[in-house]
C-alpha cells in the first residue's frame, strides 16, 4: 500500500511538473477599442491612456477605432469579447445616454461590463455670438419666456452632450428653446457665430479657442456651482438654475466576468497614469479634469448618469429618428 501511495504521489508530481506555469497578466498585447472615428479629443485621450498603461504593465496597448451606431458597434464588440482583460473600451457620455435613446440595445449596459475606472470629466460651455444681446442666463430665460419657441440652440447631433445640455436647461428653466441638430460641431458653431442660431452648449475643447479669440461669447459653464473651469465665467447653476450640471467624461470598461484581480491591476495602472503631470498637461486643452478612483465609484457615477438622462429623454420625448 505504501508503495502504491508513493507511486501515485510520483505520478501526480510528474504531471504538475509538466503543466505550463500560468502566465501573469498581462503577457500579450492589450486592445483598447475607441467607438468613434479616428481623430479629435477622443483619440488623444485613448492614445495617452494606452501609452501610459503600456508603460505601467510592460505590454503594448493597441488603439482600435470601431465607430458606428452611436458608439454601439465598438462597445458591443467589447461586450462580446473574452473576459480576460485583453480587450477594453474607452467609454464616454454616450455610454450613459444610449440605454434611453436606442430602441434596440445589443447589450445591457448595467450587466455587460466590468468597470475599470474613470479617467476624467469635462464640461460644456453655453456660448452666443459676441454681437448677441444674450450675455447671461437671465437674458436667455427672460427672452424665452416672453416669446416661447422664438430662440434656437445648435448641437452636433441628437443625444450629444450639447443637445442634452440644452434640454436640461429648458426643463430647469421652464422655457421653450428649439433644438437645431447638425451633422458636426464645426457647422453648428459656424451658425452660432453668424447669428443663424442663437446659442450652443459645445464642449470646452471645441469652444475655448473661439472664446479666447473673441469669436464666441461665453455665457456660462455647465460645471457644478463654484467649479467653473473657464476663467472669469460663472456656472449656469450660479446664474439662476440651481442643480444644473452637465458632465462630459471618459472611463474604461472590460467585458463582464473579467477576474477581479485583473480589473484591480488595470484600475491601479489607470489611476497612476491619469495622475501624472505630463498626462494632465497634454489633456489640459481638452478641459479634462482627472478623477481617479475605484471601479465601484466609476460604476456608481455612470449608473447615476443613466438614470438622470433617462428622465430628460423621456420627459422631452427625445428620439433618434
Q: 19 pLDDT band (50/70/90 cuts)?
A: very low
pTM for this entry: 0.90
The cell numbers describing 305, all together, are: 448618469
56 Cβ contact list (under 8 Å, min separation 6):
269, 272, 273
Q: What pLDDT does residue 1 have?
A: 44
58 Cβ contact list (under 8 Å, min separation 6):
26
Domains of the chain: 30-122+247-315 (3.40.190.150), 125-221 (3.40.190.10)
Closest by Cα among 144, 141, 52 to 90: 52
Q: What pLDDT does residue 18 have?
A: 46
Closest by Cα among 170, 201, 218, 214 to 315: 170
Closest by Cα among 116, 119, 118 to 266: 116
Task: Report, as an integer, the average pLDDT of 196-207.
Answer: 95
Task: Report, as an integer, the average pLDDT of 274-286.
Answer: 94
CB-CB contact of 244 with 172 (8 Å): yes
For residue range 106-121, what is the model confidence (pLDDT) as tens digits? 999 999 999 999 999 9
Q: What pLDDT does residue 22 have?
A: 56
Percent of the chain with pLDDT over 70: 93
Is the pLDDT confidence value at 4 over 70? no
Q: What pLDDT does residue 10 have?
A: 46
Task: Report, as an integer, the average pLDDT of 41-68.
Answer: 96
The alpha carbon of residue 10 and the mean position of all alpha carbons in its chain are separated, in whole angstroms, by: 56
Whether the upstream peptide bond of residue 26 has omega within 30° of 0, thus cis, is yes
As a whole number of angstroms, the distance between CA 302 and CA 19 comes to 42
CB-CB contact of 239 with 137 (8 Å): yes
Average pLDDT, the chain: 92
Task: Report, as an integer, the average pLDDT of 290-302.
Answer: 97
112 Cβ contact list (under 8 Å, min separation 6):
79, 255, 256
Is the pLDDT confidence value at 149 over 90? yes
Amino acid at each position: 500500500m505504501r508503495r502504491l501511495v508513493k507511486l501515485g504521489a510520483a505520478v501526480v508530481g510528474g504531471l504538475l511538473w509538466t503543466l505550463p506555469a500560468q502566465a501573469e497578466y498581462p503577457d500579450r498585447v492589450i486592445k483598447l477599442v475607441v467607438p468613434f472615428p479616428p481623430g479629435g479629443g477622443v483619440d488623444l485621450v485613448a492614445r495617452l491612456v494606452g501609452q501610459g498603461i503600456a508603460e505601467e504593465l510592460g505590454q503594448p496597448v493597441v488603439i482600435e477605432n470601431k465607430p458606428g451606431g452611436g458608439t454601439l458597434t465598438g462597445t458591443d464588440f467589447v461586450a462580446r469579447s473574452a473576459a480576460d482583460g485583453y480587450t477594453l473600451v474607452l467609454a464616454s457620455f454616450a455610454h450613459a445616454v444610449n440605454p434611453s435613446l436606442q430602441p434596440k440595445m445589443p447589450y445591457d449596459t448595467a450587466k455587460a461590463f466590468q468597470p475599470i475606472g474613470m479617467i476624467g470629466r469635462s464640461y460644456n460651455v453655453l456660448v452666443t455670438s459676441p454681437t448677441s444681446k444674450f450675455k447671461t442666463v437671465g437674458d436667455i430665460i427672460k427672452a424665452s419666456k416672453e416669446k416661447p419657441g422664438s430662440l434656437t440652440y445648435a448641437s452636433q447631433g441628437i443625444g450629444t452632450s450639447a443637445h442634452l445640455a440644452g434640454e436640461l436647461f429648458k426643463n430647469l428653466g421652464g422655457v421653450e428653446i428649439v433644438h437645431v441638430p447638425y451633422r458636426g460641431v464645426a457647422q453648428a458653431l459656424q451658425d452660432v457665430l453668424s447669428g443663424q442660431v442663437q446659442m450652443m452648449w459645445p464642449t470646452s475643447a471645441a469652444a475655448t479657442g473661439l472664446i479666447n479669440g473673441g469669436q464666441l461669447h461665453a455665457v456660462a459653464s455647465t460645471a457644478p456651482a463654484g467649479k467653473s473651469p473657464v476663467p472669469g465665467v460663472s456656472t449656469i447653476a450660479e446664474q439662476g438654475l440651481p442643480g444644473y450640471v452637465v458632465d462630459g467624461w471618459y472611463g474604461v470598461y472590460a467585458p463582464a466576468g473579467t477576474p477581479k484581480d485583473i480589473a484591480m491591476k488595470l484600475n491601479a495602472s489607470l489611476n497612476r497614469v491619469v495622475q501624472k503631470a505630463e498626462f494632465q498637461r497634454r489633456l489640459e486643452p481638452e478641459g479634462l479634469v482627472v478623477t481617479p478612483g475605484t471601479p465601484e465609484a466609476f460604476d456608481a457615477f455612470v449608473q447615476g448618469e443613466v438614470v438622470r438622462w433617462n428622465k430628460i429623454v423621456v420627459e422631452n420625448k427625445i428620439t433618434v429618428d
